[in-house]
Structure 1
Amino acid sequence: MTYMTIEQFRQIHEDWKQSGLSVQQYCENTGITESRFYYWKSKLKAASLPSACGSFIPVKMSGKSSVYSSRNSSGKALCEIEYPNGVVVRVTSDMTLDQLRQMVTLLR
């Protein structure tokens, strides 16, 4: 196969997962090179991620991080992210995009 679409690889990927074979074994059986398999696997992963808006990127929550959403005493919406190390990030509805950008930049 000289040209492959993401949909074609999606089917190949499903076949591989159901086969129970290692990538190397599957590629040997189907004639696909391992490098091509991994290239398309990375494309498939990238296609499944939500697209980033502006300069923000998707955030994955893992471990014991918690996200809370409520209204603070002034009635403004509040989003709070608490990390396992004790760091708490609070975002209020009156926060400007510049303030949020600075906070995200500082916490990288």
Structure 2
Amino acid sequence: MMQTESKQQVWSARMHEQAVSGLGIKAWCVREGLTETTFHYWRKRLSVPAQPATSLIALPFVGQPGKHALQLETPHGYVIRIASLEQLGWVKGLLEVLR
């Protein structure tokens, strides 16, 4: 783990150096003795992954009174219980806060 973090730090610094060098990637890699393939590999590896879009599907309420109209469990362990259909409108805002 430590070795991976160290490599990530080194390559993060290299990405910054190339960006401020004024050189294109090819010229910078030649100057530094690196291959473009390795540069592009690390650039992709260090890029922030895109967040998956959250999509909700409205389902009709068929439960019994006193039961939850909806229960959501997030990957981070939050459990959200919506008691009434009126509260379903809160879900979008709530999910935005939890991101």
Question: Which is richer in strand?
Answer: 1
Question: Which is richer in helix?
Answer: 2
Normalising by structure 2, we get a TM-score of 0.48
Indicate the structure (1 or 2) with the bigger Cα radius of gyration: 2
Normalising by structure 1, we get a TM-score of 0.45
